[in-house]
Amino acid sequence: MFKKVLIANRGEIAVRLIRACRELEIPTVAIYSEADRNSLHVRCADEAYCVGPPPSAQSYLVIDKILEVAEKTGTDAIHPGYGFLAENPEFAKLCKDHNITFVGPSAEAIEMMGHKTVARKTMQNVGVPVVPGTETVDDDDVLASRAKEMSFPVMIKAVAGGGGKGMRIVREEKEIKEAIRAARSEAKSSFGDDTVYVEKYLEEPRHIEFQILADRHGNVIHLLERECSIQRRHQKVIEEAPSMALDDDLREKMGKAAVDAAKAARYWSAGTVEFLVDREKNYYFLEMNTRLQVEHPVTEMITGIDIAKEMFKIAAGEKLSISQEDVKMNGWAMECRIYAEDPFNNFLPSPGKILTLREPSGPGVRDDSGVFAGYEVPLHYDPMISKLCTWGGTRTESIQRMKRALGEYVIKGIKTTIPFHQRVMNNEKFLAGNIHTGFIEDECIMETSDDSEDLMNVALVAAALHLQRKSREGVGTAGPEKTGTDAWKMMGRRSRWVT
């Protein structure tokens, strides 16, 4: 196993990975921006080093600084978490060049599956169904013509996309040109690549993904499915495992397709193969995420397999200790992503200090959190502050426990999306499992508008004032911190799920 691991991330996922390393008895190194000096992941790691100013482009995304810290601390492995550099093939290559193990797949696999049209072609070659679509086309007029040939609705998608960025639904011919322009612009700003393609848009599909584990010795298994259909602006907000839409036969077919996809990519590490399932139960490959997923806890809860620790073992060259026959489904798990956003005000960001924090606990409850009372939620990063998960013997019990846990969760000083999740958990169609990717809009959850320019202007002014105040207060000096032991005492009793 490794001598020391650097966690190239922040927030709850950094804390999660530090926990896994502690159980494996591996010392950890955290990195942080000036805005994150007092963050929980900094306090939890054995060592922590500042890598730059608050903007991620000047800190968490600066590969040279991260590798410099790794070499200075004698780190022999780096785990990227998710987001930031997790699916950056160049980062994986440079880690290898510096004789540092990248805890994830090969750079070649990341590159292959990160390019949407290449991934689609790879899946077609091994017989995995894909959503009908086009190759990449540079000329907007030609792309618009191809879109019209497919019949509406269609989806304009960025080839380097993810997280709902660079995507536009087109329902009428008159919308095509503007949708292509908008998708290209967003893709350029988000990924540095404005290449897009057209894909047939499936009406009311379910978004179902399969977690896979693969070692460096050619062994590949799946850890069953997750239902990720509850989305807002193409971003997952509630996930569960298993899915009500799958019977044993369909589960077996999709699981095999996921394994075939991983083998085609010569993949190792943890990864996720995502599918869309239409009303007739036809399934289509959507994409493969070559990293640890945000929603991995629900799979851990129904299988009893620690995916984070498995990633470290695979990266160290160990063979999988389990076979497909060892993977058993036990109960039902649910995850609600808790964001620092105001659900009553168009989900605008709500940075600020957490004045009071009381996390839920009790039977079947797990809260993967990156915050504490007194923590200042910064404006610079994704606003997710925790992932609240529940387990039950049945879906009904899991939902009931989630309702209880959401009611127990107290966060004062900032706005959060807890009220939004409470409304979903009480929605009749959700309770019946009658869901799809457009569920939130169709059910008018929170009844918000996506195009409120006035509210967005208010948010920008608030953000400017917040940053101005923080600038007057000053930021801490950079340098190493020895913090691990005190941090875990400070955290006190963290919620654990029990069966």
pLDDT band, very low/low/confident/very high, at 103 (cuts 50, 70, 90): very high
By annotation, the residues acting in catalysis are 291
Q: What is the mean pLDDT of residues 74-100?
A: 97
pLDDT at 484 over 50: no
Which has the closest alpha carbon to 183: 119, 228, 136, 148?
136
Torsion on CA atoms 358, 362, 368, 373, rounded to nearest 10: 10
pLDDT at 373 over 70: yes
Which tokens is 125 given? 């070659």
pLDDT at 45 over 90: yes
Residue 462, Cβ neighbours under 10 Å: how many?
A: 16
Distance CA 66, CA 80 (A): 11
132-200 classified as CATH 3.30.1490.20: yes
pLDDT at 134: 83
- Give the tens place of pLDDT for each residue, 256-313: 999 999 999 999 999 999 999 999 999 999 999 999 999 999 999 999 999 999 999 9
Q: What is the mean pLDDT of residues 195-213?
A: 94
For the chain, what are the domain ranges?
Answer: 5-103, 132-200, 206-447
Asked whether the CA dihedral 338, 342, 344, 346 is positive or negative, the reply is negative
pLDDT at 150: 86
Distance CA 326, CA 174 (A): 53
Q: pTM of this prediction?
A: 0.85
**Is the fold of 5-103 the same as that of 132-200?**
no
Interhelix angle 116-125/248-264, nearest 10 degrees:
110
pLDDT band, very low/low/confident/very high, at 451 (cuts 50, 70, 90): very low
pLDDT band, very low/low/confident/very high, at 160 (cuts 50, 70, 90): confident
Q: What is the mean pLDDT of residues 372-377?
A: 97
Looking at 165-169, 247-251, 369-373, which range is the least confident one?
165-169
pLDDT at 491: 40
206-447 classified as CATH 3.30.470.20: yes
186 phi, psi to nearest 5 deg: -65, -40
Distance CA 267, CA 341 (A): 36
For residues 451 and 55, the model is more confident at 55
Distance CA 350, CA 414 (A): 6
Distance CA 380, CA 373 (A): 19
- Give the tens place of pLDDT for each residue, 411-439: 999 999 999 999 999 999 999 999 999 99
Q: What is the mean pLDDT of residues 378-389?
A: 96
Please give the distance of CA 331 from its chain centroid, rounded to a whole number: 23
- Give the tens place of pLDDT for each residue, 309-365: 999 999 999 999 999 999 999 999 999 999 999 999 999 999 999 999 999 999 999
- Give the tens place of pLDDT for each residue, 306-317: 999 999 999 999
What does CATH list as the number for 5-103? 3.40.50.20
